[in-house]
Structure 1
């Protein structure tokens, strides 16, 4: 039963097993020291990325990333936020952490600056390892030129999908230009690697 309102403030529900979801959110905001939308920075309120995915889709997004990349949905989201909320003095990690649920619909909890930095560092480390792994595979002649093209196409499609989920609108011309630039770089890498291996083989032969 709900108690009648008093002069001291709005009515409060009496202790009962069921509490409406709105009360849960309000209590959480009070505990965080957040009284309402007025406390949310303007650039956070205007942030439009990740609007295509909500909390109910978090598990699907996480599984998609785990199947196709080394990163998790948490690392993906925070990496993008660190890119978007970077100033001349560095990344606004406190702002990102305190406003995480407002910035990314599928993130339900706030983060400390340390937790934001941890996810950011994890993303960077995984990208570096993945890059080194891929480049070695391209340089060691394990893949044919056609196989490398297939890999580049697949990875480009995954990257494009993630950008589209973030709200980035790529034109066909931009997609084709990006794919051609990447393919051109990989052809140069493969060519330089082949020349390097040939030089090494000639050097070893002359030493013998």
Structure 2
């Protein structure tokens, strides 16, 4: 029997290594449906419209937001990002697992619109190491680096409500942890509510949770 789809939400401060870990997860589990976000920022070198992001003007983004087109949206570093809602719901109903690469603001909204999702937050080993990584990328000026570090501190203070916290100190270990979070979510009874009934046969539905708990205690 096909289970319902898993919505795995992954967040991290800039420079924590989230993109590398997500690419590795997608390589091992190619069946994942990737949530392609909309954004108003300019494409970076090598990015493809419709694959990496759906690139929109500020005006188009605001129009869609007013039409409740997004499951979540956020403003990050002066640009808007958002996840289209209807394609996500359709794929989850079909049993397709979905991966969301979004920031804390967006994840908090998904907590409401996709309440059964699993939320994982990737942490740097230290703020010093995070700063070193940001500078080593050689992508940003000093003001941007300072802004990213300030945003990282703010995001990390909110990470406690996530389901899993992963420290990306050693890449293989961090990936094993992310992989474990995903696999555990696929085994949740909430994702396959009809499994026990299908095994027990018609008319032999599992006991309600409170009855089962009382029987165990007795």
TM-score (norm 2): 0.24
From the two aligned structures, give the one with the greater strand fraction. Answer: 2
From the two aligned structures, give the one with the greater helix fraction. Answer: 1
Determine which structure has greater relative contact order: mean sequence separation of CA pairs < 8 Å that are 6+ residues apart, divided by chain length.
2
